Each structure stands twice: as C-alpha cells, then as structure tokens.
Structure 1
Amino acid sequence: MKIIPMTAEACLKRLEPADAEEMFWLTDVNRPYLRQWLPWLDMVREVKDTARFIALTIDQHHRRQGTHYGIWYNGRLAGTLGVHSIDWANRKTSIGYWLGAQFQGKGLMTQAVAAYLDHLVFGEWDLERVAIQAATGNHKSRAIPERLGFRLEGVLRSNEFLYDHYVDHAVYGMLAAEWRSRTSADESGSGT
C-alpha cells in the first residue's frame, strides 16, 4: 500500500479493494453535490460498481497508465484523485479529482494535487506536462490549478455532456520546469 503524506491529518493512499465500501458511501451521500459536475454518478449504484472502478484503477497502475489515490483526512476517505491515462511518447497526462462536500474548505484538494504532482507526475514518472480540465462554471475545481500556478490555456466549448446539457471546460496546463521552479521558489521563500 503506497502512502504519500500531506499533513499531520491527511495523506494520499493508493485505492485498494478494501476501500470500496467507504468510497461508495462517500459517493452516495454526496450524490446531489457531485452530480453538478461529474457525469458518472448514474453508473455508480452499488458497492460493486465502486469495487469495479477500483479494480480498473489497479489494472491501470499495472499497465503503467497511472494510478488513483484516495485522499484520507483524520482516517476517513474524503475524495479521490488520479490520472486519466499517461501518454508516455509525449510524457504527458491529465488529472481529475473530487472531494466530498463535508471535506471542503480545508485546503485538502490543493494539498493533495500538489503532493500527487511532487511524488508521481513530476517525481516518479518524470512527465513533462500535466493538464487539468474543469467545467467553466465549477469555480471550486478551477481554483485548484489556479492556486497551484497552472496556466489557463483555453476553453473547450461543449466539451462534456452532463446528464441533460453540455458544459464548456477550462483547460489548465503545467510543465515540469514550471512546477520545479515554483516549488524551488516556495522553498527558498519559506526561510526568509
């Protein structure tokens, strides 16, 4: 079980089959909240649907196409993040994430994405580029790449069908050198 520390109260832990019940519960109790922006809620009706997703992420990891982590806060699953796939020829990927409403406002997702980028995307995998897409109206999700210094690269019109309508997506990008420069500046500025 791979664990990436974030804070004294929070860490990232690679999703495993034992997480299915808690992940389903978190999804289910947040269904109306998550439905505003995530198109897959209707496909998750039972614990076995969540277990199937976790099995796919484990297979994804074994095929070297990335991995998904649970975001754990005080011993409870708060949300998830992971890559959609990895384009090894071009050394790039895109990430997605979600957080239960009861865990909002604690800085968890910003810390989780930063740790994921440090340890995996620009660390272990040594990729050149990562993208984050979010519906233009999803201000909470868009705030994550903006806080982390990603560049807004454009808007994809009618990019995703969300139950009964299309939404535009803002596309943010970060290059490895930009991330390393940002984190170096943060480290050198912290001691002054």
Structure 2
Amino acid sequence: MFEHQVTEDISLRLVGQKDAEELFAVVDGSREHLREWLPWVDSMTEVDQYGPIIHAWLQQFADEDGFQAGIMYKGHLAGFAGFHTVNYTNRQTSIGYWLAHEYQGKGIMTSVVSSLVDYAFEEYDLHRVEIRCAMGNTKSQAVPERLGFKREGVIRDGEFLYDHYHDLIVYGMLEDEWKKCKKS
C-alpha cells in the first residue's frame, strides 16, 4: 500500500476499506468544523457510505490519476490531502486538503502540501499546481500563501455549499517558481 513520508511525525497513506470506521470517526468528530467549508460533510452520516468512496480513491491511484491519502500524524488519521486529478496533457494538477479540528495549528498541512507539490513536480513531472480556497477560509488560504503560491484570481460563485455559493481564490505554482522558493 502506498505510503509517503512527509516528516518524522507525518505521512500520507492510501486508506483501505478497513479504515472506513476511523475515517468516519475523524469526520464525525470534526463535523461542525469541516462542514463550514466542505460540501460533502452533511451527506456522510454512516460508516458504510465511505466504502464506495474509498474504492474510487484506490481506483484513482491505480489509474495513475493522482491520489487521495490519509494524513497520518503520530500514527493517527488527522485529515486528508491529495490531487483531484492529473492533467498529463497540460502537465498540471490541483491539490485539495482538510484537517480535523484538533490537529490544526501544528504546521501539519503546510508540510503535507509542500510535500505534495514536490511530488507533483518530481514524480509526475508536472509544470503547474493549483489550489483553490474559499474566500472566507483564511486558514486554508494561509497554506498556499506560506508556501509562496501566487494568488491568480477569484472564481465568483465557484462552489455551492449547502444552500449558497461562495467565491474561490485560485492560487498557482509553476515548477520553476517552486524550485526558486525551495532554494530561498
């Protein structure tokens, strides 16, 4: 099973069907926190609902179209991060992520996203990585900003969240820019 070491305490690993209960518990324990920005949280009310999703994530990895991986922090599932899909023709991808409430403020997500950007440029040989964050989600925005991503624009009403639309900020990083950021 795929596992990618990020730091001594943090790794990314594919989840299997055996992880459905733990995944459900993490989401359920941070439901109020997560639902503020993630449109799928309210629809995931039972452990069994994760089975088809986990299968789809494993198929995505098998198809070499990116991956969705559990963020493991000191051996505990803390959240998820991964590539939505990989566009090999245009050599680009986008990264999505979420973290359970109790794991925030430890630098976990910045380390994870930095590692994913490295992975995109080194393993997939891509040219561009994009991150989209909700306009009001300052914690999510802080990750690409800390890593030197350029704010490229706003997609008005870019995502429907339960009963309303919200704007999305688009951040981008090019391979040569990332190499310069890593050197400084």
* TM-score bucket (shorter structure): over 0.9
Give, in angstroms, the shift of residue 16 of structure 1: 2.3
* Number of equivalences: 184
SS at structure 1 position matched to 2:49? helix
Alpha-carbon distance in 2 for matches of 1:3, 1:109? 17
What TM-score comes out, normalization by structure 2 length?
0.96
Alpha-carbon distance in 1 for matches of 2:5, 2:83? 19
Q: 1:91-110 alignment to 2 at 5 Å?
A: 91-110=91-110
Moved over 3 A (4+): none
| Unpaired stretches in structure 2, ≥5 consecutive residues | none
Give, in angstroms, the shift of residue 15 of structure 1: 2.4
Q: Which residue number corresponds to residue 150 of structure 1?
A: 149
Alpha-carbon distance in 2 for matches of 1:27, 1:144? 21
Give, in angstroms, the shift of residue 52 of structure 1: 1.7
Alpha-carbon distance in 2 for matches of 1:37, 1:133? 12
Q: Which residue number corresponds to residue 177 of structure 1?
A: 176
Alpha-carbon distance in 2 for matches of 1:93, 1:6? 19
Alpha-carbon distance in 1 for matches of 2:84, 2:3? 20
Matched, 1:14 2:22: no
Cα displacement string for residues 112-134 of structure 1 (whole angstroms, at most 9, x for unaligned residues): 0111121x211110111110001
Q: Which residue number corresponds to residue 81 of structure 1?
A: 81
2:128 corresponds to which letter in structure 1? R
Which has the larger displacement, 12-21 or 128-137? 12-21
Which has the larger displacement, 102-111 or 10-19? 10-19
Give, in angstroms, the shift of residue 161 of structure 1: 0.8
Cα displacement string for residues 83-126 of structure 1 (whole angstroms, at most 9, x for unaligned residues): 111111101111100000000000000000111121x2111101
Q: 1:10-159 alignment to 2 at 5 Å?
A: 10-118=10-118, 120-159=119-158
- Measured on the aligned residues, the alpha-carbon RMSD in Å equals 1.1
SS at structure 1 position matched to 2:110? helix
1:168 corresponds to which letter in structure 2? D
Which has the larger displacement, 11-20 or 148-157? 11-20
Identity of aligned residues (%): 47
Alpha-carbon distance in 2 for matches of 1:134, 1:147? 14
2:136 corresponds to which letter in structure 1? G
2:84 corresponds to which letter in structure 1? H
Give, in angstroms, the shift of residue 170 of structure 1: 0.3
Give, in angstroms, the shift of residue 180 of structure 1: 1.7
SS at structure 1 position matched to 2:106? coil
| Unpaired stretches in structure 1, ≥5 consecutive residues | 187-192
